[in-house]
Structures are given as structure tokens and as C-alpha cells.
Chain A
């Protein structure tokens, strides 16, 4: 089976390195960072931390090198989905493409280029240490489900099975929107608050006034999910409080705060922006998410 991971930052590398250990899978890693590609082809793709893996995917920055693949796993940042899938779609003409990205709207973007799309949400996390080497910070599950009726569940199950055998536990489900929206609501309600205030997750949550604002954002997200008939697989409020514990993620600087400090474009368009767009489509007002979206876009505009 040929599998191509599109975008091998931290999360993409976890998938590419782990899957390449399987005897029945040939893994391709597509990434635009030539240094990273060269390091992978020379020394392999190394994971350290939560798991020690030395994978041997075949890496390329040229989409023309890709053979026909049965599966794609898109793991770029959400703002690069369109360019990444436009470049690689030819390899997936007969296959299925899964997204394991953050936010809302990636499936729709991918479906603009390939027939069969798999909605995915993944919780493992890490960071790129140097070309060819990723620190694996957190283990976690992945949930995969067909994006629409064109994707057979049996194909989703094949991909989930491969991931699980490779050490990345994955479940195939009929409707994967629950975990996706749970994660989106969690991220949209906490990440931008950290980005706008400079506070860590724990310090955001211990201020009662800010925690109330977070709940206001969560409530809007839940209403938009409910209007679409999505059942969240867990309450984002509980996850937010859990993450605020000293022994969990009290001191964690949200990725969006890290983006802002490094003056990198954030994923706010696909988090709060996604909630606002889906809210509009389903007639659910989302004034707080709209306000937060505009403020973070303002921040981005201030340094461009």
C-alpha cells in the first residue's frame, strides 16, 4: 500500500515515521522544506520523546515524484491546505485523502481536488527539533470518518488499522465530526485568549472574568455544533478545566500565542473563523467568536 503524508511538520512526521515501520506500507513524505526532505532521505526520520522511532519514508519536495497512492494524510497548517492538495491531488486519483489538521474547512478544501475524503482529528503532538528529527511530546488517539457518502467506511477502517498497527491508535467511525468539533471548540475558546493576553492556559482559566469569556465562546461553538446535529464526544468545558491543572498544561503557551510571539500567521481563520462561517450557514449568531477572530486578524495585520 502506498501512503503519502502531505506536510511533515511535527504531526505529519509522527505519521510518516511510524507508518514507514510497517512491512506492508510504503510511505512517501511530501514537504516543501528541502533541508528536511534531504535529511529524511539521508538519515531517516527520527522521533524521540513519547516514542523512539527511526522511520525510512521516501521524502520529496517535488509532487511529480509521487506514485499513485491509496491513501493521503494531509498534515499541513490549515492555511496551506489548498496549495498542498492542489499540488499532490494527481497522486490520489484512485485513493482516499485524510486530514489530521486543526480547524474547520480542511475537508471542504481537499474535496475540491479529490473524490474521496476522510475527516480526521488527531491528538498526538510534537515539535520539529531539526531537519529529520521530531520531538514527540504527547501521545493520543486519532479518529477518522468518511467526509461524505463517496468515501467507503471500509477504506477508513483500512487506514485506521494501519495507523493503529504503526503505534498511533486510530478509530474509524461513521461520523467523525464530534471529536473534530470538540477539539475546534477547545482550541477556538482558549488559544486566541492566550494569544491576545499573553497568558498561559492555566492563568487564563484561573481568572474568573476570563474563564467566563472562555465559556461564552464555548457556548457559541456548542450551539453551532448542535445546529448541525453534531454530538460532541466530550464536554470542552471539562477538557479546558482539566488542561488548566498544574500537572497537565497550566504553563502551556497556546500554539497561537507562540505564533503571535514569532509573528507567524495563526490558524484563527480555521478556528473562530470556521465557527463564525458555519454559524452563519446555520443561522446561529456567534458575536464573541467573530470579535475574537477580528482581534487576532488585527494582530496579524499589525506585523504585515
Chain B
């Protein structure tokens, strides 16, 4: 049996840990002692698209982790740096996989150890209902690609493992086309949702009137595509089409950035919009609208202290 560590038990980490526990030996690394205890005692209950309770091991102490073949770092982008630091010197036999939104997660992990690294983006979504309960909402895929010391075969193997656990996954020879599609999609949809308080619904694709949001969404996507093209990335999916498709599914998804803003938590703005704006500047591509969006959400975070 494959041994897997899932570090971070938010909605994505919980969904991965619970499903993988059906086909692998899973240990969850939590931040809070009490969270680890509840997981060990009650297991992890999944509802929604699947209905089951998974037995997992859990600890809040990195020193207590067993060595594993695969470690999935599933925390929020803003928490990755301290998590990678806690894992320094641990998990010597593991391949580490990042699933954070935006850009730069792999570099952060690489700076804390020599592990082989896989890079992943996930389109699935869930809602946490407490420490041991997670609802599986969108059963869209997780995409995996090589980053450092790994190859396409490793990516496919991990994707196959995830798939065998009941989730959707696919391995790629190069993740950047998919990663950038999602980056542009997230920078646009999450930023607009955070500022308007709109869930990702039909408004994002509406273009009949001059003031409709679809125009802005398309213009933001076009800016992102120009940056991707300057970076030499051939996008896997057109982010505008991803947007239209998602709004047609009829499920009003609340992007995490909107949930963060409403709960007055720090958002993944730097990892997503900040990363895109910095790449654009590095490559000399003007992105005035994305820059405005970035500044507005940044200021919105600053208003928490008003």
C-alpha cells in the first residue's frame, strides 16, 4: 500500500485525504493538535457527490509523520511558506506535490528541501463543515505535471492513484499550460467576485449591455492571455470558455477569495493576481485592468483594520 501524507486539511486537503484513504495509507498533518485528535477519533466524513467516512491517521507534529512515498501540500497559498519550513528535513523518501492556486508554490517548497516535486492544479471544490466533515461539491479534475526531479511517468502515476480513489485526475508532461489557464481564470473570477460579492454566476458571462460584467471579465482574460503568450505558454484551455462553462453549470460557486474577503481573512491575492501582475511586468506586457483589480483587492484587505 502506498503511504501518503496530506498536509493541510482545508476543503481540498480533506477531500484528497478522505478519498486517498480508500486506496492508500493516509496520514494528515494538521496545524491544530485538536484537529488531529478529532480526525483520529471520528475519521473524515465526506458528503455531497460521495458519501462515506474515511479512517485516517493524523498528527499536528511533523516529527511524528511516517515516511511516505507521496506528500501532498494542500494548504492555502498564504500558509505554504510556514508549512514547507515545518517539513524541512522530514519525509526523506517522499515526492512532494503542490496544489496551490496561482504561481510560485513549487519554488517555495524547493527552497526548503531536495524532494522531487510534482506540480498540480485542482478544479474540484468542496465545503468544509467543521474539522471532520467535508462536502464534495464540484467533481472537476486535478491535473498533475512534473516540476523538479520528476517526469511525466511520475505525474501519471500520481494521477492514476488519485483517480483510483474516486476523484478525477490527469497527468501531463508539462503542467504550465493548465496551470496558466487556471491562473488567468482565478485571477479574473476570484478578483471580480471578491470585489462585487457575486458568486461565480451568469453575471460573469453577460455582455448584452455596456455595463455588464462579461466585458470586464473578457478584457481581464485577454490581458492574461497576452502575458501567457509572452511567457511562451500555450494555454491548455481558454479561460474565457472555462468561465462561460462554469457559469452555465448552474451551480453558484463562491470563489475562495470572496469567502476570504467576507470573513476578513487574508486572501491568495499575492499568489494569484500578484503573481500575474509581476510576470506581466517582468515580460513587459501592459495589464492595466488586472493591475487595477489587484490594487482594489489589496486595498480591500487593508480596510479590515478600519
Contact = CB atoms under 8 A, between A and B. Distances in A.
Nearest to A292: B292
Interface stretch (B37-45, B133-141, B294-302): B294-302
Contacts of A269: 211
Give the bracket for the number of chain B residues in contact with chain A: 20 to 34
Contact of A203 (B212, B215, B293, B306): B306
A199 B212 contact: no
A293 interface: yes
Contacts of A198: 300, 303, 306
A40 B219 CA distance: 51
Listed from nearest, the 7 A-B pairs whose CB atoms lie closest are A298-B196, A198-B303, A197-B299, A302-B197, A294-B216, A209-B295, A302-B198
A147 B20 CA distance: 71
Contact of B198 (A204, A210, A287, A301): A301
Nearest to B199: A302
Interface in B280-306: 288-289, 291-293, 295-296, 298-300, 302-303, 306
B158 to A, nearest CB: 38
Contact of B195 (A196, A209, A280): A196
Tell me what chain B mostly uses at the interface: helix, strand, loop, or mixed.
Answer: helix
Contacts of A277: 210
B192 interface: yes
A298 B289 contact: no
Contact of A295 (B216, B291, B295): B216
Contact of B306 (A200, A207, A290, A301): A200
B277 to A, nearest CB: 11
B296 A196 contact: yes
Interface in B146-200: 192, 195-198
A126 interface: no
Given A216-B288, A277-B210, A287-B288, A199 B306 contact: yes
B84 interface: no
A210 B299 contact: yes
A213 interface: yes
A291 interface: yes
Given A198-B303, A198-B306, A273 B296 contact: no
B203 interface: yes
Interface of A: 193, 196-200, 203-204, 207, 209-210, 212-213, 216, 269, 273, 276-277, 280, 287-288, 290-295, 297-299, 301-303
B211 A291 contact: no
Interface of B: 192, 195-198, 203, 210-213, 215-216, 219, 288-289, 291-293, 295-296, 298-300, 302-303, 306
B235 to A, nearest CB: 23
A27 B276 CA distance: 59
B295 A298 contact: no
Among B211, B212, B216, B288, find the residue whose CB has the most chain A CB atoms closer than 10 A. Answer: B211
A303 B203 CA distance: 13
B303 A291 contact: no
Contacts of B216: 290-291, 294-295
Contact of A291 (B210, B219, B299): B219
B211 A293 contact: yes
Contacts of B302: 197, 199, 203, 207
Contacts of A301: 196, 198, 203, 213
Given A199-B306, A291-B292, A298 B213 contact: yes
B292 A273 contact: no
B299 A199 contact: yes
A157 to B, nearest CB: 38
Contacts of A204: 299
A269 to B, nearest CB: 7
A6 B196 CA distance: 33
B226 to A, nearest CB: 14
27 contacts: A193-B299, A197-B296, A197-B302, A198-B300, A198-B303, A199-B306, A200-B306, A209-B295, A213-B291, A213-B296, A216-B288, A216-B292, A276-B211, A280-B210, A287-B288, A287-B289, A290-B216, A294-B212, A294-B213, A297-B212, A298-B195, A299-B195, A301-B196, A301-B198, A302-B196, A302-B197, A302-B198
Contacts of B293: 291
